[in-house]
Structure 1
């Protein structure tokens, strides 16, 4: 596997294989997605790299990696959808506050346990609001002194 410079941007391409999504999406959900374009379902997925396009010195083309959904759990009701949505919001807050996303790595495949674990280590709405207020206050001080 080639090593890229740490600043290299890698483009992600999603492989078309959707077996895990097919297996965990109910027939009514699939029918609703078909009959009502723009409809969404919430899912927790594992993405695995399957292929890459190499990067040669002097090439203008960005390196690419093709990923595939290898495991998936689709929320089956509103309660599960709300749990997944809250995990997504918490992960967004974490990424926004740190400027990074930590790798999830191998772990539990149990959705409820994963949700509880993720929410326990990620910032709450209140913590995110405090962070945003501090950022705005810093910007205000810089503008006054700049």
Structure 2
């Protein structure tokens, strides 16, 4: 893999292999995206670089890297969309504070801290498991009391 000059502007291209999104969107979302141009959905995605194009020295084109969505989860309701939007806003605030909003260069890129702060008031996996256990116990008590 060739090394780039530190000042090189790398252009990002998104691979057209969007099939992974098919299973993460509800039928209603897919229809809405088709029937209402400009409609948006919130998603959390993992992007993986799949190919690159370099250019000869003196060429007037930027190097390019093609990214593919390799994992994705789409918000299924307004609450989930709001949660994803909160995380995005927290990450944007962090980049503004670190002065890395316009470029990814030197500086902190602590997404984990921004996500943790954004999710501080939301249940953890342990909270959810405890909730599921309590719900099962509540349902079981209800069945015993009905007999």
Residue equivalent to 1:27: 27
TM-score, length basis structure 2: 0.70
For 1:30-65, what per-residue CA distance to the aligned partner results, in whole angstroms no more than 9, with x for missing partners? 001111111110000000101100132111110000
Larger Rg: 2
Matches within 5 A, 1:118-133: 118-120=115-117
Number of residue pairs matched by the alignment = 112
Distance in 1 of aligned mates of 2:118 and 2:76: 25
TM-score, length basis structure 1: 0.70
Q: Decide whether the 8 Å contact of 2:15 with 2:68 is kept in 1.
A: yes
Residue equivalent to 1:88: 88
Partner of 1:44, secondary structure, is strand
Partner of 2:28, secondary structure, is helix
Q: Which moved more, 1:73-82 or 1:51-60?
A: 51-60
For 1:73-131, what per-residue CA distance to the aligned partner results, in whole angstroms no more than 9, with x for missing partners? 00001110000001111111111111225276xxxxxxxxx8x9714279xxxxxxxxx
Residue equivalent to 1:76: 76
Residue equivalent to 2:49: 49
Distance in 2 of aligned mates of 1:117 and 1:66: 27
Q: Decide whether the 8 Å contact of 1:90 with 1:119 is kept in 2.
A: no
Residue equivalent to 1:63: 63
Residue equivalent to 1:3: 3
Q: In angstroms, what is the RMSD of aligned CA positions?
A: 2.2
Distance in 2 of aligned mates of 1:97 and 1:55: 34
Q: Decide whether the 8 Å contact of 2:91 with 2:114 is kept in 1.
A: no
Distance in 2 of aligned mates of 1:55 and 1:3: 12
Q: Decide whether the 8 Å contact of 2:90 with 2:118 is kept in 1.
A: no
Structure 1: runs of 5 or more not aligned: 105-113, 123-146
Partner of 2:23, secondary structure, is helix
